[in-house]
C-alpha cells in the first residue's frame, strides 16, 4: 500500500471523526467539565386515586404544524382547526355537525364565542367565521404571521403577530381599532404569547421580556414593564422571550420568560410584588392559590400566588417534553412525549393519577368541567373524563 493512499485514508478518517464529534456535540471525554447529557425521567409506578376514562377518539386527518392548534368548546359544541386548513364542529359526543376546508395554512386557532370563530394564518390573516355554519364573515390582513390564539370579548378581536404588534379589530366587521407596537429583538424564539382580555384591558407579553397592560377601548398603554432584564453576554443568553400565556387573577398579573424570571405585578400600581428565577416557554396556570409553571427541564413547580415562594417541585416528569399545564377542579394535568397523561395535586405536587391515552406525543390539552379535550401529534382528538 503506497504512502499517498495511506495519507488519503488518514485524512478521510480524521474528517469523519471530527465531523462525527461536531454532529454528536454532546460526546463526553474524561476530564470534560461540560454537563453530562440528561435522559428523560423514567416513570415510577403510582397509585391511581382518580379514574381517567376515554370517552371517544376521533382522527382529524392532519398532524399539527406551526403555531397553536387547540380544540375549543362553546355551549355543547367542540371546534377544532387543523394546520392544513380544515375546520370541524363536533357534538360533545364527537359526532361531526359541520366541516369546512379552507385554503389557509392555519397557525393560530381557535377562538370561539359570541357566535364567532376566529383563527390566524401563517400569511398573517385573521379570519372570522359564523359559529353555526362555518361561513366566512370577514378576513383582515395583518403585518406578520399569527402563531398564538386570537381572543375576543364580544366587542373586539385581539391578536398578536410575530413582529411584536398587538392589533384590536371590531368583531363585527374586522375594521382596525388600534395597534400596539413592541420592539422585537433580532434573535428570538419562534413563538408568541396569547393576549389576555380582562379588567377592561389587554395584557400582552413579548419577545423582549416585557409585558404591557393596554386599554382595550383606546389602545393606550397603562404600563409596560420588564419581566426579565436582558443582561446576557451573548445574543443567545439575551433571549428572554415570553411565549407562554400569563395569568391575571384579581389585581395580580403573573408572567414568566425563557432564561429569566417569573414575576408578579400589582395591576393598580404597576409594581412588582415578587420575582423568582425561572425559565419557561409554556403557559402558566392558577390552581387553587398556586401559580403552576413548568421550567425548561420539565420540572413542574407550584408557587404561592401572593408570595412567590416555591411550595413544591415535582421532578418525576423531568425532560419528558411536557405540554403546558391545565387546571381541572384544583388538579393539574399535563401530557408527555410518550402519550401519557399525568394528574398532579396542586396543593402538594404529588401524583394523583396517570394513564397512557395515546401512542403519540400529547400536543395540547383543554379542560372544561371534569372533562378534557386532548390532541396528539398524529392529529387525533381525544375526549376524557377525570373523576
Choice between 228 and 335, residue whose per-residue pLDDT is larger: 335
Closest by Cα among 350, 305, 316 to 332: 350
Domain assignment present for 20: no
Q: Which three cell numbers stand for residue 293?
A: 409553571
Give pLDDT, residue 235.
Answer: 77
pLDDT single digits (tens) 71-97: 999 888 999 999 999 999 999 999 999
Residue 61 has pLDDT above 70, yes or no: yes
**Domains in the chain: how many in total?**
2
Last residue of a domain, one of 280, 308, 324: 280
Per the listing, cell 454537563 goes with: 35
82 CB contacts (<8 Å, ≥6 apart)?
60, 61, 62, 64, 69, 106, 379
Domain assignment present for 245: yes
Residue 171 has pLDDT above 90, yes or no: yes
**Shared-domain flag, residues 263 and 349:** no
349 CB contacts (<8 Å, ≥6 apart)?
300, 302, 311, 312, 313, 314
Q: Are 135 and 117 a contacting pair, CB within 8 Å?
A: no
Last residue of a domain, one of 215, 248, 280: 280
Domain assignment present for 221: yes
**Shared-domain flag, residues 239 and 361:** no
pLDDT band at 189 (very low <50, low <70, confident <90, very high): confident
Per the listing, cell 386557532 goes with: 109
**Shared-domain flag, residues 273 and 309:** no
**pTM over cut 0.95:** no
Give pLDDT, residue 31.
Answer: 40
- Return the H-helix or E-strand segment holding 20: helix 3-23
The whole-angstrom separation of Cα 261 and Cα 63 is 33
Last residue of a domain, one of 262, 280, 298: 280
Closest by Cα among 148, 147, 105, 156 to 128: 156
Q: Are 253 and 247 a contacting pair, CB within 8 Å?
A: yes
Residue 300 has pLDDT above 60, yes or no: yes
Choice between 18 and 88, residue whose per-residue pLDDT is larger: 88
pLDDT single digits (tens) 259-294: 999 999 999 899 999 999 999 999 999 999 999 999
Pairing type for strands 380-386 and 371-376 reads: antiparallel
**Shared-domain flag, residues 107 and 170:** yes
**Shared-domain flag, residues 102 and 129:** yes
Q: Give, in degrees to the nearest 5, the angle at Cα 123 between 121 and 126.
A: 45
Inter-CA distances, 253 with 229, 270, 277, 375, Å: 18, 9, 17, 29
The whole-angstrom separation of Cα 127 and Cα 114 is 15
Residue 33 has pLDDT above 60, yes or no: no
**Shared-domain flag, residues 267 and 295:** no
Domain assignment present for 25: no
**Shared-domain flag, residues 46 and 179:** no
pLDDT single digits (tens) 207-226: 999 999 999 999 999 999 99
Give pLDDT, residue 66.
Answer: 80
Q: What range defines the domain where residue 224 resides?
A: 67-189+192-280
**Shared-domain flag, residues 239 and 212:** yes
**Shared-domain flag, residues 94 and 209:** yes
- Mean pLDDT score of the chain: 89
Give pLDDT, residue 26.
Answer: 36
pLDDT single digits (tens) 322-355: 999 999 999 999 999 999 999 999 999 999 999 9
Domain assignment present for 4: no
**Shared-domain flag, residues 54 and 111:** no
Give the CATH number for residue 316: 2.130.10.10
Residue 8 has pLDDT above 60, yes or no: no
How much of the chain exceeds pLDDT 70, in percent? 90
Give pLDDT, residue 35.
Answer: 61
**Shared-domain flag, residues 306 and 320:** yes
The whole-angstrom separation of Cα 327 and Cα 343 is 10
Amino acid at each position: 500500500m503506497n504512502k499517498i493512499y495511506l495519507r488519503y485514508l488518514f485524512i478521510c478518517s480524521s474528517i469523519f471523526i471530527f465531523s462525527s464529534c461536531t454532529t454528536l456535540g454532546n460526546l463526553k471525554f474524561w476530564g470534560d467539565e461540560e454537563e453530562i447529557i440528561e435522559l428523560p425521567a423514567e416513570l415510577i409506578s403510582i397509585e391511581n386515586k382518580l379514574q381517567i376514562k376515554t370517552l371517544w377518539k376521533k382522527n382529524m386527518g392532519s398532524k399539527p404544524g406551526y403555531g397553536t392548534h387547540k380544540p375549543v368548546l362553546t355551549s355543547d359544541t367542540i371546534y377544532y382547526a387543523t394546520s392544513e386548513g380544515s375546520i370541524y364542529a363536533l357534538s360533545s359526543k364527537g359526532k361531526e355537525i359541520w366541516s369546512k376546508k379552507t385554503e389557509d395554512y392555519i397557525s393560530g386557532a381557535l377562538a370561539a364565542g359570541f357566535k364567532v370563530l376566529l383563527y390566524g394564518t401563517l400569511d398573517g390573516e385573521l379570519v372570522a367565521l359564523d359559529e353555526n355554519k362555518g361561513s366566512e364573515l370577514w378576513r383582515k390582513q395583518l403585518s406578520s404571521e399569527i402563531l398564538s390564539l386570537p381572543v375576543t370579548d364580544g366587542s373586539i378581536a385581539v391578536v398578536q403577530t410575530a413582529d411584536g404588534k398587538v392589533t384590536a379589530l371590531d368583531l363585527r366587521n374586522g375594521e382596525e381599532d388600534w395597534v400596539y407596537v413592541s420592539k422585537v429583538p433580532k434573535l428570538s424564539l419562534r413563538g408568541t404569547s396569547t393576549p389576555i382580555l380582562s379588567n377592561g384591558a389587554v395584557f400582552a407579553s413579548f419577545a423582549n421580556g416585557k409585558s404591557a397592560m393596554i386599554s382595550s377601548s383606546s389602545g393606550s398603554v397603562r404600563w409596560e414593564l420588564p419581566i426579565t432584564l436582558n443582561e446576557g453576554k451573548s445574543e443567545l443568553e439575551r433571549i428572554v422571550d415570553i411565549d407562554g400565556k400569563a395569568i391575571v387573577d384579581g389585581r395580580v398579573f403573573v408572567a414568566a420568560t425563557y432564561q429569566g424570571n417569573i414575576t408578579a405585578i400589582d395591576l393598580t400600581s404597576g409594581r412588582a410584588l415578587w420575582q423568582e428565577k425561572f425559565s419557561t416557554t409554556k403557559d402558566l396556570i392558577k390552581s387553587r392559590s398556586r401559580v403552576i409553571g413548568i421550567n425548561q427541564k420539565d420540572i413542574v413547580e407550584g408557587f404561592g400566588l401572593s408570595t412567590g415562594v416555591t411550595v413544591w417541585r415535582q421532578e418525576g416528569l423531568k425532560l419528558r417534553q411536557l405540554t403546558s399545564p391545565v387546571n381541572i377542579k384544583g388538579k393539574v394535568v399535563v401530557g408527555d412525549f410518550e402519550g401519557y397523561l399525568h394528574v398532579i395535586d396542586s396543593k402538594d405536587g404529588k401524583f394523583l393519577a396517570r394513564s397512557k391515552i395515546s401512542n403519540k406525543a400529547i400536543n395540547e390539552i383543554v379542560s372544561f368541567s371534569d372533562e378534557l379535550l386532548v390532541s396528539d401529534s398524529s392529529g387525533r382528538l381525544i375526549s376524557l373524563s377525570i373523576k
